[in-house]
Amino acid sequence: MQRQKVTRHSYSIVDNMKVIVLLSIPIIIINIILSSISLINIRRQNFELIHDSVTLYQSETSAKLNSVEHFIEWAIVNDPLFTELETADTPYERAKAMNAIRARVADSQYATGKEYHYFAYLNQEDIFFNASDMLFSYTDYCNIKNFMIDNAGKEASIKNNFVWQFIKLGDLNFLYYMITYNNRTFGAFVDVADLTAPLANINLGKEGGFSVCNPDYEVIYSFPSSYIAQNTGESSFFHNLHTFTGEEYSLPYSIVLYSDNFNSYGKLFLFQLFVILTGLSLCVILSAFMIHMYKRVIQPIQTFSDSLASINEQEDIIDLQSNNIRELEQASLQFKNLIREIKK
């Protein structure tokens, strides 16, 4: 019974190198694709984070402004404490009525926050007082006092009843809601910087910032102060220009916000960039290694193989030492010695 011969496929080193190169190319391509998808997701997540934060801020601010409106409208018409203040005959009774009004305002501030400052003015009695604790300087208090006294009862001021307005007094920008009813003028003032403090806490990047604009999109306030001068560009892959109008939430202002897409996820972005650069570096190193292997190993082996193949064609002893591989040089020397013995 004859034994079947088993056919064995032999592969050269060059073939193996080609396989390695062919395998590395799709791996690098897949790594670049996955990294690009990750960067796009980082950009989208940053956009959604900013959008959700600003819309939540708009919703909460709208509820606070509505609460302030209802309180002022009710108090100036129906609160008996204002009647007591108007009919007070002695300084003690007036002070008692003022403190009672301040206590009622303090109760309402639990829903809105102490950044909303209330002031009242009685025209006939010429009484002006702060109906809430003040968190700004006396100079700002005097600016508000002069503004309310100058505008109380005027036709232009009455037209703006029930409307939130912006006013710059001194160095501060205020959003105010003021109503004049008969002898009484009652209003709430909030510093725009305090009003937009939640937005200032959003991480927008070194180049990021936002602006508060009136209904005509005139800039009222910017944070940081250098934002307008530095960021006038449009949206790009690395930056986004967001515009949040106030109509949807019945707000008297809009917000224009400029953000760095990768700032909130900066570490992830740097890590992903490191992964991409690592993949590209491996590709370059692998290519250099393949070239080195071809020049220092494959070519000498091919030369050695060609020399062996030409033994039958040459009568003299062939020189097999013209290579740069130590092991092949040793093998060449032994093979030459073997050829000499055979020829003897």
- pLDDT value at residue 119: 94
Integer angstrom CA distances of residue 258 from 3, 144, 224, 240, 319: 81, 32, 11, 6, 74
Whether the Cβ atoms of residue 179 and residue 118 lie closer than 8 Å to each other = no
Residue 257 pairs with which residues in a beta bridge?
210, 242
What whole-number distance in Å separates Cα of residue 14 and Cα of residue 162?
85
- pLDDT value at residue 317: 52
Residues 6+ apart with CB under 8 A from 233: 239, 241, 258
Place of tokens 């005959």: 89
- pLDDT value at residue 117: 94
> What letter does residue 261 receive in the DSSP assignment?
T
Identity of the amino acid at 104 = R
Residues 6+ apart with CB under 8 A from 321: 329, 332, 333
Cα 165 from chain centre:
30
- pLDDT value at residue 205: 73
Record the pTM.
0.70
| Half-sphere exposure of residue 192: CA atoms within 13 angstroms, side-chain side | 26
What whole-number distance in Å separates Cα of residue 29 and Cα of residue 8?
34
Low-confidence ranges of the chain (pLDDT < 50): 1-3, 5-8, 229-231
Residue 24, SS3? helix
Token pair for 51: 């959008």
Q: Is 264 left (phi over 0), alpha (psi -120 to 50) or beta?
A: alpha
Integer angstrom CA distances of residue 237 from 10, 202, 213, 311: 51, 20, 25, 66
Residue 185 pairs with which residues in a beta bridge?
121, 180
Whether the Cβ atoms of residue 133 and residue 116 lie closer than 8 Å to each other = no
Phi, then psi, of 228 in degrees rounded to 5: -60, -40
Per-residue H/E/C for 87-151: HCCCHHHHHHHHHHHHHHHHHHHHHHCCCEEEEEEECCCCEEEECCCCCCCHHHHHHHHHHHHHH
What whole-number distance in Å separates Cα of residue 259 and Cα of residue 205?
6
Cα 128 from chain centre:
45
Strands (E), the chain: 116-122, 127-130, 165-169, 172-181, 184-191, 209-213, 219-223, 239-244, 254-260
Token pair for 137: 């300087």
What whole-number distance in Å separates Cα of residue 269 and Cα of residue 46?
11
- Count the residues in the chain: 344
- pLDDT value at residue 262: 60
Token pair for 64: 């606070």
- pLDDT value at residue 6: 45
Best CA proximity match to 219, nearest among 171, 257, 249: 257
Phi, then psi, of 114 in degrees rounded to 5: -80, 0
